[in-house]
Amino acid sequence: MKVSQETFDSIVSENVEEFELSLHEARKEAVEQLKRQGADLSEVDISGGTAKQDARTEMEKAVQVIAGASKVETARNTLLAALMVIQAVSKNEQRQAALSAFGIKDGSGALAALLQACVPAEIPDWEVLSATLIAWRQVIIRDDTARDAFRWRGGAQSVVAAMRYAAKNNNDDCRIAALELIAAAATRCESNKGALAKAGVCSDLAKALVTKNDNLLKSAARAVCTIAAADDTRSATSASFDTSRALVDAGAVEALIQALKVIKNSSDLLVALRQLAKSDEAVKRIIRNGGAAICADIIDTFCFQDTKLAIKAVGLLRNLAANDDAKDRICSDGTLDALFKLALHYPRETLLIEHTLATIAQIALRKPSNAIKILNKSGIQLILDAMRNHPTHAATQRQACLAIRNLVARLGLDALAQDNAKNTAIQGFLDDGAEDLLRKASTQSSANVDVAYAALRDLGISVQISTYELGQDGRGELVPKAHFGDKANVNFRPVFGASDDIDDKISQADAQGSAPLTAFSLM
């Protein structure tokens, strides 16, 4: 429970008046009393100074000016000064007190109303409009409560309208301010993403990506990333798939790839494209427009000097490799060669190596011809070296297990595969210590157990998964875990058939003292 400054001050006054304590003793007693009750005093000035109170008062007055500006005529300089107070919240030493006052006085509603009053206007005041957008973003990136309140009072609709208004009038600075606000509001907030999507922001973002202004392009890419990301851990569901599809339908894929052809070393563009590569249709569009080839070109040209860009590029390839057509193209157009070179150049970059192994696992899945190409490029050494270099990173170990399994599982079952390819691959993995590495990988995470088990079995190693269970004597006992196909299920019926005597069986169970069956009802 958060305690406001007003509540704290009233408790202090009560302690002074009723218990005749000194001001110092009254504050100390109030703090102890509230802490015993588990109260949150993070927004309270318990020192007796006026700094927090001054910050609150300044913010309250600023919000009051902004709220009144949409209803009555307010001097322009007064309004801009109030917006500057909100913009400067990041530099305020009493930031938390100021942000608290912003929320209490419904600063989000005041800013939304001001935007609605500014758009449209006979004579647009771009300085006021930009200052409003920038001020709102400064609050949102520093206060989760303000971010969550963004959608109230039509916040999403007002910002989207402001962005369209700026686009119509070719004001890129104001458009950038709107895009940066959208990116901040959509970050880790599913409800804001939904409100923005409902306001039609996807088509506007796709249009913003078609520009020669590099700053506008980067801001639009960041907005695409945040609105399409499933990053709100508080929400049980996510609309990121639907939002990504809406962006794809609006032409965002083609716009991003066209931009990448011009600005190849842009991490923002790569991340935005990866966020859209969630459906098979999106991946097909990316491949059709040369997305995989662009990745290979970016890797060859920039990534050996830029680690962060390399991670983004390989992350995009990881998503593209889920598509069967993309797998073959990656293996045939030089992208696979670039991927191997990059992994050898950055053997200790954990996230890059994880992306690389995941891409290899995807490329080899159900594709024996691709598996042979990977094995011929020293794939065995690359995978096992990665497992040795990152022994405690569970996700990397998991992708390595999947890669091993996918490389050997279907070899020999396809006409394109060489007759001895599977045996050669298995022997190569075993000779280089794969068994010990896979057993260690299974200990890094419960999610790794099944994939490591499957990889070991595909390498021809007899292995069982065992669990400890308590016996009747209370002592632990090692029990093998049965897997599908390991033992017959005596109660398994391969076909479904209705039982003719089910009613008699229910009646017999009821007569033997089982709980009687009653009709279902809603209370």
Q: CA nearest 218: which of 187, 172, 251, 278?
A: 172
Average pLDDT across the chain, whole number: 85
Residue 340, CA distances (Å) to 16, 67, 191, 366, 373 in order: 74, 58, 41, 21, 12
Give me the mean pLDDT over the 402-408 stretch: 95
Q: Is 31 inside a domain boundary?
A: yes
Higher per-residue pLDDT: 388 or 512: 388
* Residue 43 DSSP label: T
pLDDT tens, 423-450? Answer: 899 999 999 999 999 999 998 888 899 9
- 457/494 same-domain check: no
Looking at the fold, whether 353 and 493 belong to one and the same domain comes out as: no
| 474 and 376 inside one domain | no
CB-based contacts of 379, cutoff 8 Å, min separation 6: 360, 403, 407
pLDDT value for 268: 94
Q: Are residues 317 and 399 in the same domain?
A: yes
- Output 189 or 34, whichever has higher pLDDT: 189
Asked if residue 106 has pLDDT above 80, the reply is yes
Report whether the peptide linkage leading into residue 120 is cis, meaning its omega lies within 30 degrees of zero.
yes
- 12-62: per-residue pLDDT in tens? 888 878 887 877 788 888 888 888 888 887 767 776 667 777 888 899 999
State CA 236 to chain mean position distance.
Answer: 13
389 and 480, same domain (yes or no): no
- Kindly report the backbone phi and psi dihedral angles of residue 16, in degrees, each rounded to the nearest multiple of 5, phi listed first: -70, -45
Average pLDDT over residues 475-491: 51
Q: Are residues 424 and 480 in the same domain?
A: no
For residues 424 and 486, state if they share a domain.
no
d(CA 130, CA 138): 12
Instruction: For residue 64, tell me if it sits in a domain.
Output: no
Within this chain, do residues 326 and 348 fall inside the same structural domain, yes or no?
yes
Nearest to 128 by CA among 90, 170, 171: 171
pLDDT tens digits for 49-96?
677 778 888 999 999 999 988 776 778 899 999 999 999 987 766 777
Residue 142 has pLDDT above 70, yes or no: yes
Query: Can you give the pLDDT at residue 493?
Result: 47
pLDDT tens digits for 319-377? 999 988 889 888 888 889 999 999 999 999 999 999 999 999 999 998 988 999 999 99
Does a structural domain hold residue 499?
Answer: yes
pLDDT value at 502 more than 80 = no
Predicted pLDDT of residue 95: 78
Residue range of the domain that includes 481: 467-506
Identify the H or E element spanning 466.
strand 466-470
Residue with tokens 């190596």: 353
Residue 496 shares a structural domain with residue 374: no
- Per-residue pLDDT reduced to its tens digit, 193-203: 999 999 999 99
The CATH number assigned to the domain holding 313 equals 1.25.10.10
Q: Note whether 350 and 496 are same-domain residues.
A: no
- β-pairing, 466-470 vs 476-480, is antiparallel
Number of H-type helices and E-type strands within the chain = 29, 2
**Residue 399 shares a structural domain with residue 501:** no
Q: What angle separates helix 240-249 from helix 190-198, to the nearest 10 degrees?
A: 30
Q: Quick check: is 82 in a domain? A: no
Domain-located, residue 441: yes
How many folded domains does the chain comprise? 3
Q: CA 467, CA 476: separation in Å to the nearest integer?
A: 10
